[in-house]
């Protein structure tokens, strides 16, 4: 995550976005401007490992 000034943090906290998240930010939302990169699978970081879900589904029905 990038360094950010405290006024940026307060600006973000004044929004509704951080208060309905388990970790207080959504990587695809307003806070994304502070994210430098993602390590790992994008969808797993987002909360649903769609690739694995699809592979498991195929494995169970083939």
Please answer whether residues 17 and 31 qualify as being in contact, where contact means their C-beta atoms are separated by less than 8 angstroms: yes
3-state secondary structure of 39: coil
Phi, psi of 30 (to 5 degrees): -55, -40
How far does CA 61 lie from the centroid of its chain? 30
pLDDT of residue 2: 57
pTM for this predicted structure: 0.44
pLDDT tens sequence for the chain (62 residues) = 556 666 677 887 787 877 777 666 677 777 777 778 888 877 777 777 778 888 888 888 76
């Amino acid at each position: 995550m990038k360094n950010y000034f405290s006024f940026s943090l307060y600006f973000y906290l004044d929004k509704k976005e951080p208060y309905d998240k388990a970790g207080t930010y959504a990587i695809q939302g307003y806070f994304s401007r502070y994210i430098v990169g993602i390590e790992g699978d994008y969808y797993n970081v987002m909360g649903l490992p769609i690739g694995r879900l699809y592979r498991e589904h195929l494995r169970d029905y083939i």
